[in-house]
Amino acid sequence: MHKNSKIISLIIVLINLFLFTLTCNASNIVEINQLIENTITYDNKEVTIQGELIGEALERDKYAWVNINDTTNAIGIWVKQEDIKQVQYYGDYKHKGDIVKVTGTFYRACPEHGGDTDIHCTKIEIVQKGNLVKEKVSHNKVITAAVLILIAILTLLVYFKLTNRPSKKHGNIN
Amino acid sequence: MNNSRIKFLNCKIIFYYTGWVIIGIALLMFIPLLTSLVFREWNPVFDFLISIAITTILGFLLILLGGITRDNKSHVQWKHGFIIAALSWMLLTALSAIPYLLSRNTNSILDACFDVMSGFTTTGLVLTQDLDHISLGLNMWRHVLTFVGGQGMVVLALSFLVKETSGAYKIYVGEAKDIGLVPNVKGTARIIWKISMVYLLVGTLALWIDGILIGLKPVSAFFHGLFMFASSWSTGGFAPNSQNIMYYHSFSFEVITIIFFILGSLNFGLHYAIWQGKRKEIAKNIETQSFFITATVASTFAVIALSKIYPNSITVFRRVIYNVLSAHTTTGFSNVYARQFALEWGDFGILIMVIVMLIGGSACSTAGGFKGLRVGVIFKSIVSDVRKLLSSERNVKVYKYHHIKDYVLEDGVVRSSALIIVCYMLTFAIGTAIGTYYGYPMADSAFEAASVTGNVGLSIGITAKAMPAMMKVYYIIAMYLGRLEFLSVFALIGYFIGGVKKLCTKIQK
Amino acid sequence: MRAKNVIKDILGLFFELISISIYSAFLFLITWLLMR
């Protein structure tokens, strides 16, 4: 009985440890702004950030730069091209980019990249897929535009009418 | 009754020319409108249609109010010139903010005006939110503003819209573009535009090609190239993304921008002289001499101070020299995060930046700051004064400086240079004081104030949507004063106060 | 005549580009020397 309970408690401890490390990783997500405010502390350390991919991937050789914006700030990630093959959307006016979780080494002034403040990615996973953003134009805007354009055209017509009249006698200028 | 007749005429002249400048901006708004149309961004299309309509209406109303001026242009005086420049800038700021407001990317009218003023004055500080998701149309507008602001909106309107030019010169000077390249003002304005257009072509092409080489897709590389060129040449500092030039992670891209922003910070007269074949001008000119000396000295000190925090020479060149040059030419591109200036550079590094930001670029260029011409003149006058003290009284030596032509170092020139420098220093000092009043550290406040006064655009982290409204207001005023070099704005204020005084005395009677 | 003007302009343009490139290279040289 004693032996069994020991094994069971060992298993429970192991499961707890496992769960603990899992949750630990999740709560280790750092805001990019935190990194920037504490560059010296985080320099050369492994960090995890999460944010939206924006713009596009800048492919260089077998690697690529991707820029991530997590609403606090934005930073460049140096990542292997094969690791971002799954990415569908990058954020811009018409798209919401894929949200990714990136783990990697943070560099305050990366010697490999001419002093860039960047993260060399060791692990990247897509947390939420991005999408096309449907654009809606409010009716008010369309109506306002139409009305104003009409007034503008009227003003133009008035201007041309008035300036094409033969000039009045200058003696009457007041 | 004679007085009121004259005043009436004054107003008409001001309305007339201001109206035409406003029409100029309405025409410019077609550029982002077309961009959004091509890329099917419908909200911006309507935003710009509304903005164009409002601007056109106001413009033609003002022109009609200024009616008589069409036939009677010889009455334009210096004061009109200054006032037209100052008033145009104020109205244009309000009108150009309309697209920003409609896009909902700015939090308030104040923020929108801040961004517009930042664009026009080629400063480059940003309060627009979510830059990474703004429409191509609005991004186009931001960069058009900075490009045109650098050239001078008044100069733009005059060269293309107004037929009569006798009054034009005075308005031209009001916008601080007083360089007579050729005898007539329109010709000069056209030359400034020709030089800029040629560079626009060459620069956009260079950045476009490099953009593709560093991994951007062809269409986006074109827009990045165009925007970054416009921002470099105008020494503006806007970039299409929130990370500024860090978005590209590219040494080559940065180097190309260095070349164009230094060129953009040089005097248009210098460009013209060199294009006419007078190549020695680049070494003889007092402004290039001044810039090369101050830039080299500042860079040297900065490298010495900051070599400890960067690992190798390429890094130091990219992170130190680049930013010093960006500051000195009052461009404002930054490949270092704003907060890193505060947290990593140390006080000495920050001090060097403050000094070069205030010195600025060349006169009659897109740059801001005291201007190399004034720094050079003051320096030479100190040297000449010391020499006069030391030499015998019978020795009358004439001191000269070379700026396209040879000029005598007269007291008048020295005095006006010194006065304007004092105005800049005051604006800077007040900006620093306001920053510290609101609790920001002294070094940070000084950095931001210098950036604003010199129309630079580098930030140490103070400029943010949460910044106190009073500071935003002051920064807008300082950017405006710095760009128009004080005189126009003072003339406008003086005119306004004069008008109010007369109104008050009239009411009393 | 016009062609002559265009050539003048182009030469001027290249002269400026090259001069500033040389200045930038000069600053890089200073950096490199100071970092040794």
Binned at pLDDT 50, 70 and 90, residue A171 comes out as very low
A171 within some domain: no
CA atoms within 13 A on the CB side of C28: 12
Judge if A52 and A130 occupy the same domain: yes
Judge if A7 and A46 occupy the same domain: no
Residue (of A4, A2, A106, A9) closest to A48 by Cα position: A106
What is the per-residue pLDDT across A73-124, written as a single tens digit (0 to 9) for each?
A: 999 999 999 999 999 999 999 999 999 999 999 999 999 999 999 999 999 9
pLDDT score of A173 more than 50? no
Number of domains in chain A: 2
pLDDT in tens, chain B (509 residues): 456 666 666 778 888 888 888 998 999 999 999 999 999 999 999 999 999 999 999 999 998 888 766 666 556 676 777 777 788 888 999 999 999 999 989 989 999 999 999 999 999 999 999 999 999 999 999 999 999 988 877 666 666 665 555 555 666 666 665 555 666 666 777 788 889 999 999 999 999 999 999 999 999 999 999 999 999 999 999 999 999 999 999 999 999 999 999 999 998 889 989 998 889 989 999 999 999 999 999 999 999 999 999 989 999 999 999 999 999 999 999 999 999 999 999 999 999 999 999 999 988 788 889 999 999 999 999 999 898 888 877 767 788 888 888 888 888 889 989 999 999 999 999 999 999 999 999 999 999 999 999 999 999 999 999 999 999 999 999 999 998 888 767 777 777 777 777 777 777 76
Judge if A87 and A118 occupy the same domain: yes
Neighbours of chain A (3+ CB pairs under 8 A): B
A172 within some domain: no
Residue (of B387, B381, B462, B449) closest to B417 by Cα position: B381
Looking at residue B503, its pLDDT comes to 73
| 3+ Cβ–Cβ pairs closer than 8 Å linking C and B | yes
Classify burial at B31, counting beta carbons within 10 Å of its beta carbon; exposed 0-12, middle 13-18, buried 19 or more: middle
Q: How many CB pairs under 8 A join B and C?
A: 70
Looking at residue B1, its pLDDT comes to 45
CA distance C31 to B311: 12
Cβ separation of B202 and C34 shorter than 8 Å? no
Binned at pLDDT 50, 70 and 90, residue A174 comes out as very low
Looking at residue B5, its pLDDT comes to 64
Three-state SS string across B174-215, please?
HCCCCCCCCCCHHHHHHHHHHHHHHHHHHHHHHHHHHHHHCC
Judge if A142 and A117 occupy the same domain: yes
A130 within some domain: yes
Cβ separation of C20 and B276 shorter than 8 Å? no
| 3+ Cβ–Cβ pairs closer than 8 Å linking A and C | no
User: Quick one: tokens of B403?
Assistant: 């700026």
Cβ separation of C30 and B198 shorter than 8 Å? no
Domain span at residue A2?
1-29
**Residue A44, domain CATH:** 2.40.50.140
Judge if A122 and A142 occupy the same domain: yes
Cβ separation of A92 and B344 shorter than 8 Å? no
A121 within some domain: yes
Are the C-beta atoms of B328 and B451 separated by less than 8 Å? Answer: no
Q: How far is A113 from chain B (nearest CA, A)?
A: 8
What is the per-residue pLDDT across A10-53, written as a single tens digit (0 to 9) for each?
A: 887 777 766 655 544 455 899 999 999 999 999 999 999 999 99
Judge if A10 and A82 occupy the same domain: no
CA atoms within 13 A on the CB side of B329: 33
The maximal CA–CA distance of chain A, rounded, in angstroms, is: 121
Best B274, B294, B299, B328 residue to mutate vs chain C (most C CBs within 10 Å):
B274
Cβ separation of A114 and B315 shorter than 8 Å? yes
A78 within some domain: yes
Judge if A103 and A64 occupy the same domain: yes
Judge if A3 and A68 occupy the same domain: no
A166 within some domain: no
| 3+ Cβ–Cβ pairs closer than 8 Å linking A and B | yes
Could you tell me the CA-to-CA distances from B119 to A63, B12, B19, B239, B297 in Å, in that order?
A: 35, 29, 21, 11, 30
CA distance B477 to B117: 9
Judge if A60 and A20 occupy the same domain: no
Neighbouring residues of B148: CB distance < 8 A, sequence distance ≥ 6: B28, B120, B156
Judge if A78 and A150 occupy the same domain: yes
CA distance A124 to A100: 7
Closest partner residue to C35 (CB to CB) among B276, B279, B313 is B313
ipTM confidence score: 0.95
Looking at residue B158, its pLDDT comes to 63
A112 within some domain: yes
Residue (of A35, A38, A29) closest to A99 by Cα position: A29
Judge if A139 and A112 occupy the same domain: yes
CA distance A120 to A141: 45
Neighbouring residues of B450: CB distance < 8 A, sequence distance ≥ 6: B353, B354, B357, B358, B428, B431, B456
A61 within some domain: yes
Judge if A77 and A122 occupy the same domain: yes
Are the C-beta atoms of B248 and B214 separated by less than 8 Å? Answer: yes
**Domain range annotation of chain C:** 1-36
Q: CA B301, B306, B308, B312: dihedral to nearest 10 degrees?
A: -100
Looking at residue A20, its pLDDT comes to 59
